[in-house]
Amino acid sequence: MSLATRIIPCLDVSNGRVVKGINFKNLVDAGDPVEMARIYSEEGADEITFLDISASVEDRKTTLDVVSATADEVFIPLTVGGGISSVFDVDQLLRAGADKISVNTAAIKNPNLINEISERFGAQVLVISIDAKRGRTESGFEVTTHGGRNSTGIDAFTWIEEAISRGVGEILLNSMDMDGTRAGYDLELIRRVREISSVPVIASGGAGDLDDFGKAIESGADALLAASVFHFGIYRISDIKRDLSRKGFTVRQNSTLRQN
C-alpha cells in the first residue's frame, strides 16, 4: 500500500518549555521545543504534536511563539493541542504555523465547537482527542477528562460517531487504561474504533516494546503517537521504523536526498 503509517512523537510543552525532555547526545537544550522538534524531524518523525499543558492562560501565550519558531524550521506537519476552546484560539495557532489543532475537553463541554472550527477552517485541521477508559457505559468505554481521573458518563463510541458527524478530520485515541504503563497499545479499543470510524485513527497510550507498534497497526491504527518511549530514550524513531519495515509494514524512510 502506498500510504505509510505515521509515527508521531508528542511533546508536552509548558510555559514554552518541553517537560520530560530527554538528553540526546547532540542536543544542546533538552527543554527547547524547537530543537526537539527539529531532531525528531531529522530522525524521521512523520509529524510532531505539541501538547500544551501550561497551567495558566498567561503561560499559554508562549505557545504561539513556540509554534512559530518550530514552523519556521521544521517542514513536517505540526499539530497543537491543549487548552484550545474557541475558534479564535484555532485561528491564532494556524496563523502561527500549526497545521492541525486537537481539541478535547472544550468539545465535550460544547460539541458545537467542532462544527464552528470545521466550517471555518475545514475538518482536515481538526483532530478530536478522546481520553477513553473502560467504564460502565454501553460500549464498555467511557470518555474521561483530566488524565482519566474524571468520568463524563459519555460513551466513547457514541462521542466518536457524533464528533465525526459534526466534522473532524482525525481521531486521537488515548487509552487511559494503558497510558503510561508501557504495556502496549489498547488493541481492543483501536480495533473497535477502527470499525466505526470513517476518518484516520491515531493510537496513543501504552507504547513500550518495539512489537507494540506493529500490533497497533494490525489492529487498524492509521498513525501511532508516543511520548514516553521517546522522552525516556527507550527507542529512537528510526529504531521503530526500521523494525516495522523489517516486519513488512509500510513506513516512510528518511529521504535519500541530502538536507541542505
Partner 1 sequence: MIAILDYGSGNIRSAQRACEKTGADVVITSDFKTALEAEGLVIPGVGAFGSCMNGLRAVKGDELIKERLDLGRKILGICVGMQVLFSESDELFNGERISGVGVFPQKVEKISAPVLPHIGWSEIESNTDSGSFADLNGERFYFVHSYAVKTEVSGATNIGCSYGENFVAAIETDLITATQFHPEKSGVAGLKLIANWAASL
Return the active site residues: 12, 131
Cell numbers describing residue 77: 506537519
Residue 177 is a binding residue for partner 1 (CB under 8 A): no
Rule CB under 8 A: is residue 43 a binding residue for partner 1? no
Minimum distance from CB of 179 to partner 1 (Å)?
Answer: 23
Amino acid identity, residue 30? A
- Cβ-contact 123, 168 below 8 angstroms: yes
Site for partner 1 contains 218 (CB under 8 A)? no
Q: Enumerate the β-bridge partners of residue 59.
A: none
- Nearest by Cα to 86 from 49, 130, 121, 62: 121
In the stretch 220-239, what mask flags binding to partner 1 with x, by CB under 8 A?
--xx----------------
15 binds partner 1 (CB under 8 A): no
- The answer to whether 219 contacts partner 1 (rule: CB under 8 A) is no
Does residue 65 belong to the site contacting partner 1 (CB under 8 A)?
Answer: no
Is the Cβ–Cβ distance between 113 and 106 less than 8 Å?
yes
The reply on whether position 170 binds partner 1 by CB under 8 A is yes
Our finding on whether 4 is near partner 1 (CB under 8 A) is yes
Residue 154 buriedness (CB in 10 A; 0-12 / 13-18 / 19+): middle
Q: In sequence order, what DSSP letters do the residues of 58-94 get, joined into one string?
A: HHHHHHHHHHHHHHHH--S-EEEESS--SHHHHHHHH
Stretch that binds partner 1, among 11-19, 53-61, 66-74, 183-191 (CB under 8 A): 66-74
Size of the site for partner 1 (CB under 8 A): 39
Residues that bind partner 1 (CB under 8 A): 2-6, 41, 46, 68, 71-73, 75-77, 94-99, 121-125, 169-170, 197-200, 222-223, 252, 254-255, 257-259
